Each structure stands twice: as structure tokens, then as C-alpha cells.
Amino acid sequence: MTSPEPFRVIFVCTGNICRSPMAEVVFRDLAERQGLGARITSSSASTGEWHVGERADNRTIEALERRGYDGSRHRAKPFTAASFADNDLVVALDRTHERILREWARDEDQEGKITLLLSFDREAENLDVPDPYYAEAQMFDAVLAMIETATRGLFRQLEPALRSRRTTPRTLPQN
């Protein structure tokens, strides 16, 4: 019996050098630590092409390192039309990204894959992960903490289906 294809999650922000790489790395680490690294994958992309091919912002890499993650291999890439087909879940880091992604969606199936990361944090007062790009290094740490909390919430939603089924979930369980 062949193992099922992994459930694929892509995180999307503006330039793919701050927030979405953080979410990608944190989510991948969580899946691996929970023994589900082969059942679920994460990637990230941007809504624009400003930083394509670049590493994550140094402050992103440093914030990740301070929390025990490795973001050094990241290279920015744009979200494309193929990204909808290549992923089972498209996670926007703020409502602007969500709006853009919904505009790009060609049908209800693609639109149904889109969600906001902070919707998985029951304590979040706002659904937008702030962009730390123009802020000091401390803001990167604060943003990473938000992402860690919401990513754990997202993982909790997906984990039961990943553990109990021989195939991976193709739709997100309802919050």
C-alpha cells in the first residue's frame, strides 16, 4: 500500500521574506515534532514579486533562530495560478492578502482553500498579522509569537484527520 500524498499548506504574505516564511518554518517544525512530517508539508509565497529569489529578511532569520528554528534555506517566491492546484490550504497572513487571493481564485474550490492564519488563534483581537518589515527587530519576535500561537491552532484543527485517516484531509475541518 502506498502512503497518501501529504496535505499541502502554503502561507502567503506581501514579499515572502518576513511573515510567511516564519509561518512555513514554524508549521513544518511542528509537523515534524508531532511525527507527521511525511503527512503534511508547508511552503510560502508572496502576493508580489519584489523579493523573488531573496533569502528571508535577516531579522526574520534571527527571530526564528532565537526560538530554535532554521529559516536560512528560505528563498522568496510568488504565489501563482498553479499554487492553488499545488496546495490543499492557502493561508493568508492578513486580510489584504486574503482579498488578493480571493480575487485570483478562479472558482469556488480555489476560493474555499483560502483562510486567515489568525482565525486559528481564539485570543486574537485582530485577524491581521502585522508586517514587521519597517519595524525594529523586537517586532519580528512579537510577530513570530503570534504566528506560533495561530499555527498551533491550525495544526490542532488538522491533526485529528491526519492521524486517523489513511488518506489526508482535502478540506479544512471547521473551527
The verdict on whether 95 is a catalytic residue reads no
Name 115's bridge partners. Answer: 91
Name 89's bridge partners. Answer: 9
CA 46 to chain CA centroid, Å, is 11
Q: Which of 8, 67, 131, 141 is catalytic?
A: 131
Q: CB–CB of 175/120 below 8 Å?
A: yes
φ/ψ of residue 109, rounded to 5: -60, -45
Listed in order, strand segments (DSSP E) in the chain are 7-13, 40-46, 89-92, 114-116
73 contacts: CB under 8 Å, gap ≥ 6: none
The verdict on whether 86 is a catalytic residue reads no
The verdict on whether 131 is a catalytic residue reads yes
* Residue 2 CB neighbour total at 10 angstroms: 4
The catalytic residues are 13, 19, 131
